Structure 1
Amino acid sequence: MTVPTEASGPPAPSSDPDDGWTPRLVLSLASMLVVIELLSVSYGMVSVDLPAITTHFATDQGAWLLTAFLLVGAVISPMIGKLADLYGKRRLLLISIAVATAGSLISALAPSYGVLVAGRALQGFLIPCMFLVYSLVRDVFPRNKVALAVSIATSGLGLVAIPAPWLTGWLIETWGFRSIFWFFVICLVFGWLAIVVTTPETPVRLQARVDIVGGVLLGLGIAGVLAAVSFGPRWGWTDISTLAYLLGGVALLIGWVVHSRTVSDPLIDLRFFRRRSVLLTGLAAGCAYATTAAYAAVVPMMVMVPAEMGLGYGLGMTAKQYAIVHAPSAAAGLIGGLLVGTAIKKLRPRILMIVGLLVMSSGVAATAFAHDTKLAIVVVSTVTGFGSGMVYACVPNLIIAAVPPQLQATTSSLVSVMQSGFAAILPVIVFAVLNSHVAMVAKGRSFYTETGMSIALFIGAGVLLVGALLACGLPSRITQLPTPRSDAGVAGTGKAVAHA
């Protein structure tokens, strides 16, 4: 049973629509932006760091350094979302940042690749910070500032994203791959302290139970399927180990579905997926996040390979020089997000979402052809970044329109599961394809054929087209989920939210 309650604590900023941007409000948003931008750039920074890491530890399982982060984020997001609705979004945001900081420290000190992956997995607690931030913004910011603040929070202002490419190269080339994780430790500590000082707790609460069994079934099920996909090319698709992980994972996922339908307060209430606005937003967002994750892993490998290797790609860039590619893409993402934030009152987020996905798809597909010069790779990655900024800003605005405050974190966590889950799966699939197209192995590092790289990019472009088709199915007029009541749960008739 879910019951809304009011919590005591520091007073939230006034929701008077005439309120302006006060210094405290600006600092609050800036402090949360630091954490969200760290989430955004952490994937890209680790992707650029990946060649040095895989060479140091002599492993061809680099995908797991990316997947562990996303997998943990997908698994813990529903739990964090439920706990946030129960005990406060600010409180769970601070806890999540603290765990991610501990994971960064473990990665910085890791003596082996396994320990490094474990630390990176704990960094996955950064992922629920995204929906915790925009859910908290909805509760404590003035109403007329929410849409722009949410768009800024999800796309950023470049506080970290724009200098990150140059910083990444300088850190790696000067201090080695571990310096990236030390950078995360320092910045996360700063962000945690800033949020404590500037941001009040939301007064919105739910009363519900936490479904631990559901979390275990879901997490182990996803992990089993991903292990089969990742190691299948090496073990053989018909090998007993591959089949055991695959079938075991599927069985656990089926068990999770059955369990979720039989308990009163499941980890993920599957009834929410009957709502087209929630389901299609999550699926379309998952397609975008998945392709961004794969693209962020493939492009650094393409441009950092020496051209003299004759693979048909490779510009011989160093990690520092890669900033020429990454910085314009990050800046374009910020512009795309701000565009959505300013246009959302005149254009439906559904339309902006479709446009963003199509722009992303065109950029990713073009990369398969235009990767032989610095200018070409900068242009196509910038197009991709602009589209991703639009999509990322549309997602929270769609969810805010679809659900009441009492269900904001819980429902947003469902979308986060699809975003992170898809993003965990696609890079594993991409690396499985790449590991089937190895051109050579040198110093423990695999170099892939141009055909393999092109297939990986076309897969990403195709996934984005699927996302655009799904977004076309979003209702033009969103019906808001009802506010939960002690005698009605989530049943009832929603309130229509019109978008001009």
Structure 2
Amino acid sequence: MSGTRAAPERAATRPRLVVGVLAFCGVVVAVMQTLVVPLLPHVPELTGSTPTAASWLITITLLSGAVCTPVLGRLGDMYGKRRVLLASLGVLVAGSVLCAASSHIGVLIAGRACQGAALAVVPLGISILRDELDPARMLPAVALMSSTLGIGAAVGLPAAALVVEYSDWHTMFWVSAGLGLLDIVLVLCFVPESPLRSPGRFDVLGAAGLSAGLVALLLAVTQGGDWGWASGRTLGLLAGCAVIWPLWGWYELRVRAPMMDLRVSARPAVLLTNVAALLIGFAFYANSLVTAQLVQEPTSTGYGLGASLVVSSLCLLPGGLAMVALSPVSARISAAFGPKVTLAVAAGCMAVGYGVRYFTSHALWSIIVGATVVAAGTAIAYSALPALVMRAVPACATASANGLNTLMRSIGQACCSAVVAAVLSGLTVRVDGRTVPTFHAYLLLFLVAAGAALLALAVTLCLPGHAAPARPRFLGRAADADPRPRAGRRP
């Protein structure tokens, strides 16, 4: 019994350290997702590979993150969130060392796959915060943890650009390995293990089906532009999705302890939140993808600024700082008016930001202002999404539910990447002997991203005002059997 109480006492005495450590882990993991973006144009020359092979440094990270996030979230709910969190960070370190020690494209792709798997750190951290903090501290802490996905992306791009510009590119992977090791030490020292567990056996077949469906879907979305949307590979993967997903759903509805409780996921409070997460992920990623490329276009295009890689990446830094500043503001709005209002405000802010970008993308300062407004909306949205999820699911399913929500953001980002590539390659003009996107292509992307934000706003307004947490059917009476208060909270 004493062993059960030790973790709550540790968390209760050092809540700020717990929050700070987990937020730092989230930022490090988010930085890993965008680390190679500035390096990508140089990868074929540096590794002796092709541009198609180089693109897999991004694709494989998306795939491994999408597959591992819900699976590791479920494992965390069942076997211990801190334990799975440490394993995820260990995989991140291993992947970073692989990338740092080699210039072979195959090894780099394997290392990037390991780095992508660590995306599960964010939903696991959110779940730990829910278990260990009292309600007054929990909402702002979760808001900060969720926002680390955007903060890390905004900070990681300029940092990686500086390394690519002024140092050996392997350096950034050695640094990421060191940061991952520091994360592991901090978690071991300051983050307790939650005593909350979700009973039952791990659904291996359900995890395999989910992984197969996600890989087929995301490969079709991310590679369809290169392969051709009517090619045999793309159509084959989409046909595979049409077979895998219904069979997986049929199985999950019948197994006693499913990988994903579809009855809970289908509740309006959960389903609509996940749809909004997908749309928000789409709108957020357009800001990151388009900004750097727009300002780097040559001045001969009539709209480009001819900025360097470092300058273009720094355009996103004010947005990252805005995310840090606004995550506690988001928590206050949620505490006062509810996370539904917060998400609606965020989606509206993102749409306004793209409106600013549509009309003022002619000078560097106005581009930075528009990008920062979109980032501000993203910070508020990312802070509100886990609060909406946690209102609608039981505490023992927090990691897996937030893992699904994070997955939906990743799918939104994958769809955005495909749309951006299609538009920028489809609307082009010849300038100085090279093919570049037209300015109308960028304006169209701003309209599409604004439309995604407005759709997210519409979906948010359809959310039920209040939702009582659902109890998964596989828990039976076990969820109510333990009368102990939740770790770190007042009984």
Q: 1:397 aligns with which of 376, 382, 387?
A: 387
Distance 1:437 1:398, change over 3 A: same
Q: Is the 8 A contact 2:32 2:115 kept in 1?
A: no
Q: Quick one: distance in 2 between partners of 1:440 and 1:210?
A: 56
Matched, 1:209 2:198: no
Does the alignment pair 1:453 with 2:442? yes
Paired residue secondary structure (1:481): coil
Gap change, CA 1:113 and 1:314, over 3 Å in 2: farther
- Counterpart residue number, 2:109: 117
Cα distance between partner residues in 1 of 2:117 and 2:375: 24
Query: Are the structure 2 counterparts of residues 417 and 442 from structure 1 closer, same or farther at C-alpha, using a change threshold of 3 Å?
Result: farther
Displacement after TM superposition at 1:413 (Å)? 2.1
Structure 2 vs 1, CA of residues 86 and 386 (structure 1 numbering), >3 Å: closer, same or farther?
A: same
Q: Which shifted more, 204-213 or 312-321? A: 312-321
The alpha-carbon deviation at position 446 of structure 1 amounts to: 7.5
Give the deviation of 1:45 after TM superposition.
4.0
Structure-to-structure mapping, 1:61-460, within 5 angstroms: 64-156=56-148, 164=156, 166-308=158-300, 310=301, 312-437=302-427, 439=429, 447-460=436-449
1:108–1:381 Cα change, 3 Å: same
Q: Deviation digits for residues 328-383 of structure 1, max 9, x if unmatched?
A: 11111222212112232211110110110111122234334432211011100110
- In structure 2, how many angstroms separate the alpha carbons of the residues matched to 1:369 and 1:64? 35
Q: Deviations over 1:115-149 (max 9, x none)?
A: 43332222122221111111101111233211122
- State the SS of the aligned residue for 2:336: coil
Change (3 A) 1:259 1:426: farther
Whole-angstrom CA distance in 2 between matches of 1:402 and 1:134: 15
- Output the CA distance in 2 between the equivalents of 1:62 and 1:437: 24
1:439 Cα deviation (Å)? 4.6
Distance 1:383 1:260, change over 3 A: same
Question: Contact conserved, 1:101 with 1:185, CA < 8 A, in 2?
Answer: yes
Tell me, yes or no, if the aligned pair for 1:60 and 1:446 is still in contact at 8 Å.
no
Q: What is the CA deviation profile of residues 141-200 of structure 1, one whole-angstrom value per residue up to 9, with x for unaligned ones?
A: 233211122122223599977865553332121124443333321211111111111111
Tell me the residue number matched to 2:459: 470
**Letter paired with 2:468:** T
Could you say if the C-alpha distance between residues 161 and 242 of structure 1 is closer, same or farther in structure 2, counting changes exceeding 3 Å? closer
Preserved contact between residue 104 and residue 184 of structure 1 (Cα < 8 Å)? yes
CA distance in 2, matches of 1:441, 1:129: 45
CA distance in 1, matches of 2:296, 2:468: 48
Let me know the Cα RMSD of the aligned residues: 3.2
Kept in 1: contact 2:261–2:472 (CA 8 A): no
Q: CA deviation at 1:478?
A: 2.1
CA gap 1:209/1:485 in 2 versus in 1, 3 angstroms: closer
Q: Which residue of 2 aligns with 1:497?
A: none
Rounded to whole Å, the distance in 1 between the matches of 2:210 and 2:432 is 38
Change (3 A) 1:287 1:302: same
Note if contact 1:13-1:141 (Cα within 8 Å) is conserved in structure 2.
no
Report what 2:483 is aligned to. none
Secondary structure at the residue paired with 1:346?
helix
Q: Which amino acid counterpart does residue 384 of structure 1 have in structure 2?
A: V
Q: CA deviation at 1:418?
A: 1.6
**Greater CA drift, 253-262 or 90-99:** 253-262
**Structure 1 counterpart SS, 2:426:** coil
- Displacement of 1:10 after TM fit? 4.1
Compared CA separation, residues 165 and 235, structure 1 to 2 (3 A):
closer
Select which of 13, 28, 32 maps to 2:18.
28
Q: Which residue of 2 aligns with 1:495?
A: none
Aligned CA distance change for structure 1 residues 51 and 477 (closer, same or farther; 3 Å): same
Q: Which amino acid aligns with 2:416?
A: L
CA deviation profile, 1:69-106 (whole Å, cap 9, x unmatched): 23322222221122111111111111111112222222
Distance 2:328 2:240 in 1: 44
CA pair 458-120 structure 1, distance change in 2 beyond 3 A? farther
Q: How many residues align?
A: 478
- Would the aligned equivalents of 2:64 and 2:116 in 1 still touch at CA under 8 Å? yes
Matched to 1:264, the amino acid is R
**DSSP 3-state at the match of 1:204:** coil
The alpha carbon displacement at 1:318 in A equals 2.2
| CA spacing shift, 1:199–1:50, aligned 2, 3 Å | same
What is the TM-score when the length of structure 1 is the normalising length? 0.86
Letter in 2 for 1:200: P
Q: Quick check: 1:101–1:184 contact (8 Å CA) kept in 2?
A: yes
Instruction: Provide the residue aligned with 1:498 in structure 2.
Output: none
Matching residue of 1:11: 7
- 1:382-403 CA-to-partner distances (Å, cap 9, x unmatched) read 1011000100110122222222
SS in 2 for 1:480: coil
**Structure 1 stretch displaced more, 323-332 or 162-171:** 162-171
SS in structure 1 at match of 2:304: coil
Name structure 2 gaps, 5 residues minimum.
481-491
Q: 2:473 & 2:272 partners in 1: Cα distance?
A: 22
